[in-house]
Amino acid sequence: MALTNAHAEHEPSGPKTLSWPRRRGPARKLHALSRTAALSSKAALWSKAALCALLLAPDAFGDDTGESDPVAEVLTSPGGAGGAGAEDAPEFWVPDPTIASDTADLLADGDRYRFCQEPGYRLWPHEKDTYCPLAEHLASRCPELPRACERPPYGVSAEKDWSFDLSPDLDWLGAAAGLVRILFWIVLGLGVALLLRALVKNLAEEIQRRRGREAPTPEFVAWTPEAPESPRETDVQRLLARARDEAARGDFAAACGTAYAAALRALEHRHLLELHRSRTNGDYLRQLGAHPEEREQLRGVVREIETVQFGHALPDQALYERILARVTTLVGQAAVLLLFVIAPLVLTGCGDGPVPDAPGAAHGPDGYALLEGLLQRHSSSAGRRVRRLNGSMEAVSTFVALSPNLREEEWEHLMNWVSGGGTLLAAGVPAQLAKRLEYEPEVRSCDTVLDAPGLALVHAKADTFGAFPETSTLVSCGEAPFLVGMDYGEGVVYALADAGWLRNASLAAADNAQLVVQLLASPDGRVELLGPWTGSGANHPLESVHNAGLTPWLLQLLALAVAYAVSRGVRFRSPVEPVREQRRAFVEHAEALANQYARSRASGYALEQYGRWALERIRERVPVRERDLHALAHAVARRTGGEPMAILKILVEVQSAGQIQGAPEEHHRTMQALSRILRDVGGA
C-alpha cells in the first residue's frame, strides 16, 4: 500500500490539508494516510497494523512536538487497544472502554436524562422524528427512549417558542453547579421542613385539645358561654370543621360561636365585612346595608347567637342546626363565587401527562449536556462559554462551536486563536466560518452508514458536506465527507456536517461518543462549548449591559437624571431634620386662655382687669391733679381732640365692668375703644 505523503507545509493562516495535526502527531498522519489513500477496509487494516508497529518507535516521523498523543496512548497502553474486542477492531479508532462506561454512567442519571430513564416519558413530535430511528442503538443506555417512541408524542406543539429553559440546568456553572444545587436543595428542604413542622404542630394541638376537653356542664348548673377557642382562625372550612367537631362532642356553645365566626369570615373573604375586635354584631349588620340578602341571613344568625353569648339560652342541637343552616347558606354563597373563580384555573391547569423537558433543554434529547459531561471527564476542564470571545483564551485548548451567534469580530478573534495553535470543532459550518475556510457551503443528505473504522457510528438523518477541498475526511457517509479536518495556521479545524449529531440522544447511540471524545478530549487544556449561550455572560456589569443593547437607553436615562437634578438644584448643605416645636407658640396659649374666658363668660372680668391697667397707663400719660374720671376724660380730650363725654362714657364703663353684667360684644367694644384712647395718648 503506498502511503501518500499528505504532509503539507504549515503556514500561519488559511486552511490547509490536514497532514500532521499538531496535537495528535502521528495519529493524525495515520488518519490522513488512510483516508486519502481511499484504501479498502481490509487493506486499510493491514496498513494500519504495519503503521502501528512504526508508532512504537518514537519520533518516527520527526515532526513530533513532544506533546502527548492521547490516541497514541490509547493504542499503546494495555487498555488502550480498545479493551474487549480490540484485537478485532481497526487500530485507528479503538473504542475506549472508559468513554463507553462514562457515557452509560452519565445517561444512567434519571433525574437529568429523563428521556433515557423516566417511565412514561414522551417525546416532542420533532424529537420523535429525529431520534426514534436510533432507538435500537439506544436501548442499552436509554431504555425509555425506545418505549417513548412507541407512545404518541407530547400534545403541545414543539414549534412553541420556549423563550427560557424550563428545566433547571446548572451544569454550565461548572464547578459551582454542585454548590448551587446543594444550596437550592437546602433552601427547599428548609421550606418543606417548616411547613411540615407547622402542620404537625397544628395537628398535635388539635389532638391535645380534643383529649383535654371537659364534658359540657349539666343543665341545672349556671352555665356561662365561652368565646370560640381560636377566634383568630380565618379559614372558613376549618372553622366549619371545628364547629362540627365541637357539636359532635356536645359542646354546642362553642360550636355555635365557631359557626358564627365562619359566617363572618366568609363574608369578610367576599369583602362585604371588615372584622375588627371593636365591632359589634350590629356594626356588621350595618356594613351589609347594601346587601339585603346577606344581611337578613346574618341577622338571623346574630339573633340566635346572641341568645347564646349574652343571654342565658342553653345551646342545644336544634339551635346549633338552625345556626349552621344559615351559616352554610352564607358560606355556600361564598363557595359558589369561589368556585367560579377557581374552576377555570383548575381546568386550565390540566396537563397531558408528565411534561417532557423543553425542546433544547440541556439534558433533553436535543441538549448538549452529554457532550459536556464526557468532555469534563476526559479533559482538564470543560464547560460552556458564556462570555464573549473578546478576551484572552489562553486557558482554552479546544472550542466546540455548536451553532453560536458570534459577531464578525468574534469569528475573527476565534480564527486567529485557532491559527495560533488552537483546535476548533464546528458542528455545521456557518457562513462566517465557511468564508474563512474558503468553503462553498453545500449540504447533502446521506442515508448510508457512517464509516469510521473501528467504531460503529450511527445517525438518523445525516447531512454531509459537498466537496470540501483541502480537508481530510475523518468520517464519511458513503462517498461524501461527514467529518473533515484541516490545518489552520498552527491549529486545526474540524468540521462536522450535521450539527445535530452531537446532541444527547444522538451522542448516546452506539459509538458516536467514542469518536467525539477521542477527537476533542484534552487532558491538558480546557474545552469550551460555544453555543447560543455564548455572549449571555459578561466579564463585568457594563459589558453585560452592552451585550443586552441597553447602553444607549441607560445613557439617555442618565442624561435625563442629570438634567432633572440640575433643574432641581443642588443643595448647598446636607439636609437636616426640621426643628420640632416642643412648645406651643405664645399666641396659642393666649388663644386657649381666651377660649376659656369666653366659655366662662368672663368678658366682664377681662375688661375689668384690662381697664385697671389701661387707666393707670392713661393717668401716667395724661397726669391730672383730680383723680375723678371727669377730669381725666377732659384732659384726654384736650390731648387727643376727642369728645370728652364719649371718652368719659368709656372710662365709666371700664371702671364699672366688674359690677354690671354685659354682653361680651359690648365688653369687647369697650376694650377696643379704651385701647385706642391709650394709643392716642402715647401708648403703654
Partner 1 sequence: MNVEEFSRAFHETADEVSRVLLGQREVVEHVLVAVLSRGHVLIEGVPGLGKTLLVRALGQVLSCSFRRIQFTPDLMPSDVTGNNVYNTKAGEFMFVPGPVFTHLLLADEINRAPAKTQAALLEAMQERSVTIDGTTRQLPDPFLVLATQNPVDSQGTYPLPEAQLDRFLLKVHVGYPSVEVERGILKNYLGGFDPGRLEEARLRPLLDVEQLLQMEGVLRSVAVQDEILDYITRIVTRTRSHGSVYVGASPRASVALLSTARAAAAAQGRAFVVPDDVKAYAHGVLRHRLILHPDAELENVSADDVIEGILRETPVPKSAA
Applying CB under 8 A, which residues contact partner 1? 225, 227-228, 231, 257, 260-261, 264-265, 275-283, 306-307, 309-312, 584, 588, 591-593, 595-596, 599, 601, 663-665
Of 45 and 263, CB closest to partner 1? 263
Of 224 and 567, CB closest to partner 1? 224
> DSSP state, 578?
P
Per-residue cell: 113: 436524562
Of 63 and 306, CB closest to partner 1? 306
Of 259 and 678, CB closest to partner 1? 259
Q: How far is the CB of 534 from partner 1 (least distance, A)?
A: 59
Of 145 and 305, CB closest to partner 1? 305
Per-residue cell: 502: 452531537
CA–CA dist 290, 302 (Å, integer): 18
CB 403, CB 531: distance < 8 Å? yes
Q: How far is the CB of 255 from partner 1 (least distance, A)?
A: 13
Of 161 and 665, CB closest to partner 1? 665
Q: How far is the CB of 595 from partner 1 (least distance, A)?
A: 6
Q: How far is the CB of 357 from partner 1 (least distance, A)?
A: 50
Of 42 and 583, CB closest to partner 1? 583
CB 454, CB 52: distance < 8 Å? no
Q: How far is the CB of 353 from partner 1 (least distance, A)?
A: 46
Of 79 and 311, CB closest to partner 1? 311
Per-residue cell: 174: 461548572
CB 93, CB 467: distance < 8 Å? no
Q: Give me the DSSP letters along 662-678.
A: --HHHHHHHHHHHHHHH
Of 312 and 679, CB closest to partner 1? 312
Of 599 and 625, CB closest to partner 1? 599
Residues 6+ apart with CB under 8 A from 198: none
Q: How far is the CB of 565 from partner 1 (least distance, A)?
A: 39
CB 474, CB 31: distance < 8 Å? yes
Of 302 and 651, CB closest to partner 1? 302
Neighbour-count burial for 557-571, b at 16+ CB within 10 Å, e otherwise: eeeeeeeeeeeeeee
Q: Give me the DSSP letters along 105-118.
A: HHHT-TTT-HHHH-
Instruction: Report CA 385 to chain centroid distance, whole Å.
Output: 22
Per-residue cell: 650: 368709656
CA angle at 605 for the pair 602 and 607, rounded to the nearest 5°: 110
CB 86, CB 93: distance < 8 Å? no
Of 265 and 326, CB closest to partner 1? 265
CA–CA dist 602, 391 (Å, integer): 92
Q: How far is the CB of 340 from partner 1 (least distance, A)?
A: 26
Residue listed under C-alpha cell 382562625: 233
Per-residue cell: 380: 482538564
Q: How far is the CB of 654 from partner 1 (least distance, A)?
A: 20
Long-range contacts of 312-317 (CB under 8 A, 24+ apart): 312/223, 314/219, 314/223, 315/225, 315/252, 315/253, 315/255, 315/256, 316/252, 317/247, 317/252
Please choose, from the candidates 371, 365, 380, the residue with its C-alpha nearest in 3D space to the C-alpha of residue 113. Answer: 365
CB 422, CB 530: distance < 8 Å? no
Q: How far is the CB of 590 from partner 1 (least distance, A)?
A: 11
SS (H, E, C) 132-174: HHHHHHHCCCCCHHHHHHHCCCCCCCCCCCCCCCCCCCCHHHC
Q: How far is the CB of 207 from partner 1 (least distance, A)?
A: 24
Helix, coil or strand: residue 551: helix
User: What is the gyration radius of the CA atoms in the chain, in angstroms?
Assistant: 48
Of 11 and 591, CB closest to partner 1? 591
Which strand (E) or helix (H) includes residue 355?
none
Q: How far is the CB of 591 from partner 1 (least distance, A)?
A: 7
Of 188 and 593, CB closest to partner 1? 593
Q: How far is the CB of 310 from partner 1 (least distance, A)?
A: 5
Which strand (E) or helix (H) includes residue 465?
strand 462-465
Of 225 and 531, CB closest to partner 1? 225
Q: How far is the CB of 208 from partner 1 (least distance, A)?
A: 23
Q: How far is the CB of 261 from partner 1 (least distance, A)?
A: 4
Residues 6+ apart with CB under 8 A from 120: 151, 353, 354
Q: How far is the CB of 226 from partner 1 (least distance, A)?
A: 9
Q: How far is the CB of 328 from partner 1 (least distance, A)?
A: 17
Beta carbons within 10 angstroms of residue 407's beta carbon: 13
CA–CA dist 251, 230 (Å, integer): 15
Of 222 and 347, CB closest to partner 1? 222
CA–CA dist 294, 324 (Å, integer): 15
